[in-house]
């Protein structure tokens, strides 16, 4: 077994100062856990960027290797849950937060954090999806389970050019829904329509008239990736007995809304949490992602990089300038 591997190491040489470098580590440096995995691919998420710059809401203990997503090959498993050579996906829980994550070529984690790669999905494709894809699929699942059908009317996706938003657009379109994509980047209209959006609107169009207690009913369902004023407006403009899912806070973590959407239209607000979701739900959703909800255009939704390209993508993400998901190739790093 190879004892040395490369990984991004975030260090804190002094208070409020954080540095990021690709370094050589050893397996002995990894935390305890039953499962040792050689990571083939990871992906960059906003939580990873925050961990990389020392955000204490994500990571408090340094040195640290971020990466909340990892897909690779089992090297060893102490409890027998997996066999050497098994291909697995590891996302969420504490991976990449306080536990060294997928920006290293090796990870060691509790075996209960992992699931076998579903048939129909490659390791590379699984990280083109990653936590963003899992979150988007959980959101689509909630809409469907709450009665939103493809013939119910348009479904709104906010923050549509982001990781979760763009994948939600593609999945909904694949499932036969009419999708309205709301974005602050109207120059990405062609890209969103290429993913399957029937209509692309400015994010301001979602909140226009939101000062009123209720708004005109427009949406059969909503997948909100923004929060704040946008989520409040989405609730006020959802059809009778429609469903709104919430998974993001880039707009604001606060929600100022009255009870009218709930008591006059029976609107449902469903929170989406992929971090502590049950393994039963994960398995169900990943099967969908490997089959009927797998976007046809995954390749167009990502830029592939190595560990050496992470710093540039992290900075772009923090400035809101990342246009595609960043797929991290650990094999070529």
What pLDDT, on a 0 to 100 scale, did the predictor assign at position 2? Answer: 63
Buried b / exposed e over 295-315, threshold 16 CB at 10 Å, is: beebeebbebbebebbeebbe
* Span 34-54, pLDDT tens digits: 999 999 999 999 999 999 999
In order of their start, the domains of the chain are: 4-117+297-329 (3.90.180.10), 131-271 (3.40.50.720)
Q: How many CA atoms lie less than 13 Å away from 16 in the CB half-sphere? A: 0
CB 81 within 8 A of CB 111: yes
Give the global pTM.
0.95
CA distance 303 to 137: 21
What pLDDT, on a 0 to 100 scale, did the predictor assign at position 23? Answer: 97
Residues (pLDDT < 70) of the chain are: 1-2
What pLDDT, on a 0 to 100 scale, did the predictor assign at position 1? Answer: 62
CA distance 317 to 326: 10
Cα angle vertex 257, ends 256, 263, to 5°?
160
């Amino acid at each position: 077994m190879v004892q040395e591997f490369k990984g991004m190491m975030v260090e804190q040489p002094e208070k409020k100062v954080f540095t990021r470098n690709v370094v050589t580590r050893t397996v002995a440096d990894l935390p305890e856990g039953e499962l040792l995995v050689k990571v083939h691919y990871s992906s960059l998420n906003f939580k990873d960027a925050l961990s990389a710059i020392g955000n204490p809401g994500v990571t408090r203990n340094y040195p640290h290797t971020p990466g909340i997503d990892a897909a690779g090959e089992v090297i060893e498993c102490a409890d027998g849950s997996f066999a050497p050579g098994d291909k697995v996906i590891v996302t969420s829980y504490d991976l990449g937060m306080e536990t060294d994550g997928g920006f290293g070529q090796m990870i060691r984690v509790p075996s209960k954090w992992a699931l076998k790669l579903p048939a129909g999905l490659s390791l590379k494709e699984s990280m083109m999806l990653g936590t963003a894809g899992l979150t988007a699929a959980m959101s689509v699942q909630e809409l469907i389970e709450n009665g939103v059908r493809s013939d119910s009317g348009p479904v709104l996706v906010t923050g549509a050019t982001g990781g979760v938003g763009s994948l939600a657009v593609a999945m909904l379109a694949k499932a036969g829904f009419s999708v309205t994509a709301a974005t602050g980047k109207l120059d990405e209209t062609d890209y969103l329509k290429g993913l399957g959006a029937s209509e692309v609107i400015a994010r301001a169009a979602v909140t226009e008239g939101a000062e009123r207690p209720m708004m005109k009913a427009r949406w059969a369902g909503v997948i909100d990736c923004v929060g704040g004023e946008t989520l409040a407006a989405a609730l006020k403009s959802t059809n009778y007995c429609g469903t709104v899912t919430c998974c993001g806070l880039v707009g604001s973590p606060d929600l100022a809304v009255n009870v009218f959407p709930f008591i006059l239209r029976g609107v449902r607000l469903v929170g989406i949490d992929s971090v502590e979701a049950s393994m039963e739900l994960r398995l169900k959703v990943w099967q969908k992602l490997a089959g009927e909800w797998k976007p046809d255009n995954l390749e167009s939704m990502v830029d592939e990089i190595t560990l050496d390209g992470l710093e540039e993508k992290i900075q772009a993400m923090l400035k809101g300038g990342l246009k595609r998901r960043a797929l991290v190739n650990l094999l070529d790093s």
